[in-house]
Amino acid sequence: MKIMKFGGTSVGRPERMAQVAQLITADNEPKIVVLSALSGTTNALVEISNALAAYKRDEAKQLIDKLEAHYHAFVKDLVKQDASVAKATAIVHEHFEFLNIILKISFSDALNKDILAQGELLSTKLFCVFLAEIGIDHALLPALEFMSIDMNDEPQVPVISAKLKDALAQHAGKSLFITQGYICRNARGEVDNLKRGGSDYSASLIAAAVQASVCEIWTDIDGMHNNDPRVCKKTVPVEQLSFEEAAELAYFGAKILHPASIWPAQHYNVPVKLLNTMEPAAKGTLIVEEAGSTGVKAVAAKDGIYAINIRSSRMLLAYGFLRKIFEVFEKYRTSIDMITTSEVAVSVTIDNATHLAEILKELEPFGTVEVEDNQTIVSVVGNEIAETKDVLMKLFDSLKDIPVRMVSYGGSRHNVSLLLPSAHKTTTLQALNSGLFGLE
Ligand code: ADP
Ligand code: ASP
Ligand code: MG
């Protein structure tokens, strides 16, 4: 069985949905097709939710009406036969009626998750109406019946696998399944989600759960590029990445993949392919356990980082100091991305400031604590990069004019990470694009 995931742009227009229908019927292998919401929908739903949370009901109503009009126009171009138009229109009505009812209920976090789920529910149901109209046999697998997260908001593949097998067993004889990315149920049984961009994670979890032959992530670009194409003029696709390399790029900001989307595929050894819906013949990127070449492959950047520096002469010659510091972060379930130490100071970075105030308070007894916000981690990733001749020289040569705040080198054999003020991100990525890759 194979998994094919299509992102927002890939399903964002009626003619794109037609193209997706072609791609998923190009071979006879049984498949589960994972769809995102139409591009722009989840952002619109976030806006609706925010307006409701701020008691701006009129604004929320206007946003709901605008989104509904978009869907009616979409349906008009998607299906032609009267019966399909009626069916698709009824689906749009059903989901917008739900949003209109929500306008009258007091806002809560659970309700917010219900609102955010509407995008994927709509896209998959409309796509199924379209498939039925053009005579493609299929079944809709509701993700809320099998995709789940535990008490720590973590998905567990064996649990998902068991539920998914039950769901598949209800459709004997079918070989094409459509399901929602992003949405899931939490430990309380409520509708929840796998965070923004989470459809990639859904696809990888499903691929792991059914031991798929491949997990294809179809998007609007021909694979993982060597640098952020939104920042650098000329970037090129990387042909192969190891799971480790891809996981680091995703975690450190390459938006093409959700940060957690590689581990399920890696753990269950399912190859991942990044492919372009608009250019299906392009090679894309293949992600497997052992990627062929060594050396620098790509650069990614992650914003919104906080650097915390703890300075204390008591650290000198003391043991157990780092453990005590780490325990504070552990207590507040805040993960550390980068760390550097000297005899009298330790610097760490975090990307989640939810418990920053409490963390700082508990760190105070250990020494002088300073925080800097608006930092960016730039990661240079490539197999055995640490041992590749000249990489460090070229790297630091490119960064002559950048106020680099921390460097992490050696922790992983395929990653060198730098911390710098976010204001220098663009110049840094561009300097590395020419310095490491010889590209403009
Ligand atoms: P989808 O809606 O299909 O999930 P996303 O917008 O989430 O698509 O991801 C694709 C986008 O990721 C690309 O259009 C590109 O702008 C951005 N991106 C950022 N870094 C990279 C990179 N290193 N390689 C490829 N794309 C990248
Ligand atoms: N629709 C969700 C989002 O926009 C999930 C996804 O597209 O992967 O974040
Ligand atoms: Mg995405």
CA distance 342 to 334: 22
**Residue 42 · residue 116 · CB < 8 Å:** yes
pLDDT higher than 80, residue 317: no
Q: What is the pLDDT of residue 71?
A: 98
Cβ neighbours, 10 Å, residue 341:
14
Residue 411 predicted with pLDDT over 90: no
Q: Could you please report the per-residue DSSP string of 357-384?
A: HHHHHHHGGGSEEEEEEEEEEEEEE-TT
Q: Which helix (H) or strand (E) holds 66?
A: helix 57-78
Which three-class secondary structure state does DSSP give residue 406? Answer: strand
Neighbours of 318 (CB within 10 A): 12
pLDDT classification of 316: cutoffs 50, 70, 90: low
Return the C-alpha torsion angle 353, 357, 361, 362, nearest 10. Answer: -40
Q: Which of 195, 196, 222, 255 to mutate to test the pocket of ligand 1 (most atoms within 8 A of CB)?
A: 255
CB atoms within 10 A of CB 172: 6
Q: Which of 386, 378, 367, 369 minimizes the C-alpha distance to 402?
A: 378
| Ligand 1 lined by 36 (C-beta under 6 Å) | yes
Pocket test for ligand 1, best of 33, 221, 257 (most atoms within 8 A of CB): 221
pLDDT at position 318 over 80: no
Average pLDDT rounded to a whole number, residues 65-84: 98
Band (431; pLDDT cuts 50, 70, 90): very high
pLDDT tens-digit map of 3-46: 999 999 999 999 999 999 999 999 999 999 999 999 999 999 99
Token pair recorded at residue 308: 């915390």
Strands 298-311, 368-381: pairing is: antiparallel
Using the predicted structure, report yes or no on whether residue 252 has a pLDDT greater than 80: yes
Q: Are 387 and 413 in contact (CB under 8 A)?
A: yes
Q: What is the DSSP string of 300-350?
A: EEEEEEEEEEEE-GGGTT-SSHHHHHHHHHHHTT--EEEEEE-SSEEEEEE
pLDDT-derived band at 102 (thresholds 50, 70, 90) equals very high
Mean pLDDT of 238-260: 95
C-alpha 6 to ligand 3 mean position (Å): 9
Q: How far apart are CA 395 and CA 167, in angstroms?
A: 50
Atom of ligand 1 nearest to the CA of 197: 7
Chain-centre distance for alpha carbon 418: 22
Band of the pLDDT at 355, cuts 50, 70, 90? very high
Q: Could you tell me how many residues make up the chain? A: 440
Place of tokens 């070989």: 175
Tokens 């994670």 correspond to 201
CA distances from 155 to 32, 158, 427 (A): 18, 9, 38
Per-residue pLDDT, 315: 66
pLDDT in tens, 132-174: 999 999 999 999 999 999 999 999 999 999 999 999 999 999 9
Residue 199 near ligand 2, beta carbon < 6 Å: yes
Q: What are phi and psi of 138, to 5 degrees?
A: -165, 175
For ligand 2, whether the C-beta of 38 sits within 6 Å is no
42 CB near ligand 2 (under 6 Å): yes
Q: pLDDT tens digit string along 203-235?
A: 999 999 999 999 999 999 999 999 999 999 999
* Measured distance CA(44)–CA(117) in Å, rounded: 12
Round to whole Å and give the CA distance between 58 and 16.
33
- Please report which ligand is nearest the Cα atom of 202: 2
Q: For residue 212, count CB atoms less than 10 angstroms from its CB and return exposed for 0-12, middle for 13-18, buried for 19 or more.
A: buried
**Contact status, residue 305 vs residue 419, Cβ threshold 8 Å:** yes
